[in-house]
Structure 1
Amino acid sequence: MNTSGPSRPAAKSLTARAKLLLVWAATALLLVGMVTLGAVRTGPVPGTDFVAGPEDLWQEQWEEQPAAAAPPAEAPQAAVDLDALDAEVRRVLAENPGYRIGVVLADTHGGEPRGYGDGTEFVAASTAKIITAAAYYHLVETGEKSLDVPLGSYDAAFQIQAMVNASSNDAWLLLMQDIGYPRLIEYAASIGISYDPEQNLLTPAEMADLLKQLSTGKLINAEHTQELLGYMQKTNNERLIPAAVGPGITVQHKYGALGGYLHDAAILSSGDRSYALTIYSWGEDGGSEKRLAMIHDLTGVVTKALLE
């Protein structure tokens, strides 16, 4: 009788069964894993982003974004009927025979200006203050003047703003005296304008050309140009050209009133279109409602034809 345990063949058979059990166990685990993976891959979308990777998040955001609407096609700009514009301006002039009126319209992008009515010199009144402002800025840029220099009770920068935005005559006189009349005449001539500050005469065409040069940066540097144009907006008198323009049109202007003279000179802009418009007028009624209505009519004709 053998009491030492099972024989070697018996032990070998037991080992084979153990190996078979291990194979079955591994196979079962593999099947469970596959079922679990399939459940995860086909299960509901997680309620949070915690298990989502960066690419999944980007894809979800991309899918959630609504398709961008195509920008509406801009209607082609209708060709301007210049003959009709001319006829309308002349109609307004004919309806106001009691006034001496000079009108000039200039496209700031180029081309010949269009003039109507009286093209001779008018007393420019305060519209000429733009010449003084441009001359002073020019001298600042050449190093001959400074905006920080005391001038009267304030500095030169303040006086330019007061002269243009509030049409201060005291500021105008201080600036002209600081420049000197001969230098002011010389500067005006350098930009193609015949101007004597003691007489203060300009033609409507000269004033329109001055605004055209200013708006296109030909007079002074970009910083000073923007500053001066800023002073020409929301001035202390918006009853002339600004009162007659529609929404979406920017107005930068300088009015003038002296005795029977009532003027306004403006840069009118909308989108990429820009025009200099000068309306000079003289009559015995000064700034009457009838005179204002005439300026409004002319402004409306121009803006309707060119900017609206």
Structure 2
Amino acid sequence: MNTSGPSRPAASLSARGKLLLVWAATVLVLLGVVTAGVVRTGPDPRTDFLTGPQSQQDEKPAAAVPATRAPRAAVDLDAEIERILAANSGYRIGVVLADTHGGEPRSYGDGTEFVAASTAKIITAAAYYHLVEAGEKSLDAPLGSFDAAFQLQAMVNASSNDAWLLLIQDIGYPELIEYAASIGISYDPEQNLLTAAEMAELLKQLSTGKLLNAEHTQELLGYMQKTNNERLIPAAVGPDITVQHKYGELEGYVHDAALLTSGERSYALAIYTWGEDGESKERLAVIHGLTEVVTRALLE
């Protein structure tokens, strides 16, 4: 018996194995060709598709385009003020605007005298400081329950009528009239009448140092900031404009007179009004409207 088995079946098996190896090799070759083709035809690494996070961080963002605000239309100051006055003809209104650097003041509306109310306290304050500078009065001198310096601040910043009366009596009525005349203002404290033009001129002289020395000028102007009533001119002025003012209210008279300053530009604005309603929303709207027109035209 032949234990090694027939020879042909063994040869046939060997051939089949070789055939399988050839097919496997062929498949591997084909796979390699396809893979190489895919790699060669894939995305260009220079494009954003393969851009890594680091390379994106290295890219400089496009510069932001600054937002631009459309320029505001030019304001016809005279026409706008006249329009406001015409729209509020139920009130007596006098408006005077004076450039503190010089030139003729602009006047609108009623140019006659008004009861000045507390705006005239600036005349009394200037007169008292003038006497101090002349050596005739002292800010440290007792006056009422306090000293003169306290009464000046109370009169201007808090609009105290008690302080006003004490200071007028200490100055003397004839002397106060004489002082007002010396600075070009016709004023009698018993009648307490002023025009808006006189009030604007007073503020102009004060701001330019023509009335008092530098120390007293700055002190008085300081009292005219952040007063106990900021509802009138200050309420209509932007934060970039400095306001130093004195308001006055009495029996239908509602006034405000202010120095408005922005950079090198400075104007004295006096708004005197009379009506039946006192400090109403309508009266405030008139004063605010006039102030806004002036600041838009000259200070913005």
TM-score class, shorter-chain normalisation, is 0.7 to 0.9
Pick from 262, 266, 291 the counterpart of residue 283 of structure 2.
291
2:122 partner amino acid: I
Offset from partner CA, 1:242-288 (integer Å, 9 cap, x none): 00001200000000000100000000000000000000000000111
Residue 249 (structure 1) aligned with residue 235 (structure 2): no
Offset from partner CA, 1:116-154 (integer Å, 9 cap, x none): 000000000000000000000000000000000000000
**SS of match in other structure, 1:223:** helix
TM-score (norm 1): 0.73
Q: 2:169, 2:118 → 1: CA distance?
A: 16
Residue 214 (structure 1) aligned with residue 206 (structure 2): yes
What does residue 56 of structure 2 align with? none
What does residue 123 of structure 1 align with? 115
1:305 partner amino acid: A
Q: 2:99, 2:163 → 1: CA distance?
A: 31
Pick from 98, 102, 109 the counterpart of residue 94 of structure 2.
102
What does residue 197 of structure 1 align with? 189
- Structure 1: state its 5+ residue gaps: 1-77
2:212 partner amino acid: I
Offset from partner CA, 1:87-139 (integer Å, 9 cap, x none): 00001101101100000000000000000000000000000000000000000
Task: Within 5 Å, give how 1:1-308 maps onto structure 2.
Answer: 84-308=76-300
**SS of match in other structure, 2:234:** helix
**SS of match in other structure, 2:293:** helix
Q: 1:133, 1:252 → 2: CA distance?
A: 14
Q: Percent identity?
A: 85
Deviating above 3 A after TM superposition, structure 1's stretches of 4 or more consecutive aligned residues are none
Q: 2:148, 2:291 → 1: CA distance?
A: 33
Q: 1:115, 1:305 → 2: CA distance?
A: 16
**SS of match in other structure, 2:228:** coil
**SS of match in other structure, 1:212:** helix
1:161 CA drift (Å): 0.1
1:292 CA drift (Å): 0.3
**SS of match in other structure, 1:132:** helix
**SS of match in other structure, 1:105:** strand
RMSD of aligned alpha carbons: 1.0
**What count of residue pairs does the alignment treat as equivalent?**
228
**SS of match in other structure, 2:231:** coil
**SS of match in other structure, 2:131:** helix
**SS of match in other structure, 2:205:** helix
TM-score (norm 2): 0.75
Q: 1:156, 1:95 → 2: CA distance?
A: 44
Q: 1:247, 1:147 → 2: CA distance?
A: 33
- Structure 2: state its 5+ residue gaps: 1-71
